[in-house]
Copies of this chain bind each other. A is one copy, B any other.
């Protein structure tokens, strides 16, 4: 992986939209890892500013990450049902229910983004939820960027390899944040890292980066034993001072609550792993965190935003997505450079 991507250490800092900007990425790069900038929630101007910062300051290669979901189709009936599910919480907070249609707070990779990237030629570009359409992907590869994307099943890994990715990120079920699942929506297909990683390694020829449950040097050693060419770590970086993790989120990660995470679609419309909180408990139907009423990604977010803001003003993370992987209890606050070096100690060179 280090040969392929050009970084000194086989450690990728997972892009975490909403919890970090280029500051975290730069600190990881400076320590020899691959820092990542999450671009999914950035407008073009903000993205340009971040790319300028990375170009000016990054030591070694860096990664820019995009979502590539299909834009949602507006569905007034579904949105109305969602508002009805949220109505008791709006009433409790003394807020009026939203009347405007939901807006998409995250946009998929676009021709405009590709054009902007072409001016900066970032050395690595990673995608989540599959890949952009072939013409857009070809533009990224044209300047020599190495392309990564996440697979949550063997079939997804094979699909990504066939589309020309340079490395596959095998995202085990333990991973925090959005699951990269894109060839289906049956969550019973999702494998733990122990099972997924070696199966993906056997299935593809490109290097495989392990993600999910890795939070320390021992986890890195275990991933290497299972055939990984490197690791991607997210949750542990949320506690670094260079991350912009919401204080309530940071507090939850350091508390006993971090022992219980679950997959939830109530914050965005797609399944993602977070620390179980009130929204996940009370909006989940059948299982904690999963609601059949949540609008298509990312439209669920719109109507949750006022509830989140009101709760946060009162010092509560009841409606905040507290993204975390299952190894959150193993994470401790430390500077990103120190964390990157500690993780790399688990790698036998």
Contacts and interface: CB of A to CB of B under 8 A. Distances in A.
Contact of A330 (B188, B199, B212, B289): B199
B199 A287 contact: no
Interface in A185-205: 186-189, 191-196, 198-199, 202
A192 B189 contact: no
Interface in A174-194: 174, 186-189, 191-194
A335 interface: no
A303 interface: no
A194 B218 contact: no
Interface stretch (A32-40, A79-87, A99-107, A257-265): A257-265
Contacts of A123: none
A192 B219 contact: no
Given A192-B193, A287-B287, A326-B192, A198 B218 contact: yes
A172 interface: yes
A325 interface: yes
A317 interface: no
Nearest to A188: B262
Contacts of A346: 225
Interface in A269-293: 276, 286-289
A320 interface: no
A173 interface: yes
Nearest to A280: B188
A212 B227 CA distance: 17
Contact of A194 (B202, B219, B276): B219
Contacts of A188: 260-263, 276, 287-289
B327 A186 contact: no
A124 interface: no
B218 A192 contact: no
A326 B191 contact: yes
Given A191-B174, A192-B174, A214-B194, A199 B276 contact: no
Contacts of A202: 330
Contacts of A193: 192-194
A7 interface: no
A164 interface: no
Contact of A222 (B174, B222, B260, B287): B222
A195 B326 contact: yes
A108 interface: no
A145 interface: no
A226 interface: yes
Contact of A288 (B155, B186, B327): B186
23 contacts: A154-B329, A155-B259, A174-B192, A187-B287, A188-B261, A188-B262, A188-B288, A189-B260, A192-B192, A192-B326, A193-B194, A194-B213, A194-B214, A194-B326, A194-B327, A195-B213, A195-B326, A221-B222, A221-B225, A222-B222, A222-B226, A225-B346, A286-B287
Interface of A: 153-155, 172-174, 186-189, 191-196, 198-199, 202, 212-214, 216, 218-219, 221-223, 225-227, 259-263, 276, 286-289, 325-327, 329-330, 346
Top 10 A-B pairs ranked by shortest CB distance? Answer: A194-B213, A192-B192, A195-B326, A188-B262, A221-B225, A222-B222, A222-B225, A174-B192, A195-B213, A193-B194
